[in-house]
Amino acid sequence: MKVIVLTDKEAIGQAAGDLICGLVSQKPDAVLGLATGSSPVPTYLRMAERHREGVSFQKVKTFNLDEYCGLPEAHENSYHTFMREQLFSHIDIQLENTHFLDGNCADEAAESERFSRTIEAAGGIDLQLLGIGSNGHIGFNEPAQAFTGEAFKVALTPSTIKDNSPNFIGSDIPMPRFAMTMGIGQILRAGRIILIATGEAKARAVKAMLEGEVTPQCPASVLQKHPDVTVYLNPAAAALLSDHPIE
């Protein structure tokens, strides 16, 4: 995995945003896998900036990693809302080209199949953007006994509930205990992966991902098996690595 340590979140957002926009300029109908959380926000800001400078997302298709169960799509804390507010309303993407798992589906297996088929029909994901949970999760693939395959409904762990609960302060619906998430197998099929981690709360997970054994106890460690992963870190997230190049 290629590890790039940059001084701050803004520099990471600029680098990751430019990389994604470079792909979109080369391949205007690129298929992007997108992530939520605070880590990708500066990347989305940069993508919006590059759009204002002329990059078009008209033909781009997107697939989001995950969505909470039990939140209406339009709820202020849903990942649908997050993506509209942080990215989609700032670029010229066609909303019908943006795809999500339905966190309120009645039949999870059918929903998973629908999502897999839609990705396949789009030609597969060219580039997947990821954050990482402090427990090493990617998407909402929590530490587990085995690596997952396609999308599924997951019970969130106490650590994830603790990490994400602050986003639900003042919300009329409490932080959900379940989510629909892309599976690990699905994530690994992306042609290229970019993972962003910043802050000392991520340092242990980052070390386990890059220097630990490949184990479903640290789901992100599976990325060691992917041939094209770029990891962007700030110095705090890289602090526990034995070897960390600063750019």
Task: Identify whether 137 is a catalytic site residue.
Answer: yes
Cβ nearer to ligand GLP, comparing 59 with 161: 161
The catalytic residue among 67, 80, 111, 137 is: 137
CB of 131 to ligand GLP, least distance (A): 3
The catalytic residue among 142, 163, 164, 234 is: 142
Cβ nearer to ligand GLP, comparing 21 with 206: 206
Task: Identify whether 244 is a catalytic site residue.
Answer: no
In the structure encoding, which two tokens stand for residue 105, read together?
A: 């589906």
CB of 53 to ligand GLP, least distance (A): 26
Task: Identify whether 135 is a catalytic site residue.
Answer: yes
CB of 140 to ligand GLP, least distance (A): 5
The catalytic residue among 66, 67, 126, 163 is: 66
Q: Which residues pair with 194 in a beta bridge?
A: 129, 230
Cβ nearer to ligand GLP, comparing 39 with 234: 39
Residue 122: CA count within 13 A, CB half-sphere = 25
Q: Which residues pair with 192 in a beta bridge?
A: 127
Cβ nearer to ligand GLP, comparing 35 with 55: 35
Q: Is 181 helix (H, G, I), strand (E, B) or coil?
A: strand
CA 209 to each of CA 21, 158, 220: distance values in angstroms, whole numbers, following the listed order? 26, 20, 5
The number of helices, as runs of H, and strands, as runs of E, in the chain is 8, 10
Which residues of the chain form contacts with ligand GLP (CB under 6 A)? 35-39, 65-66, 131-133, 139-140, 160, 164
CA-atom Rg of the chain in angstroms? 17
Residue 197: CA count within 13 A, CB half-sphere = 30
What positions carry a catalytic annotation? 66, 135, 137, 142
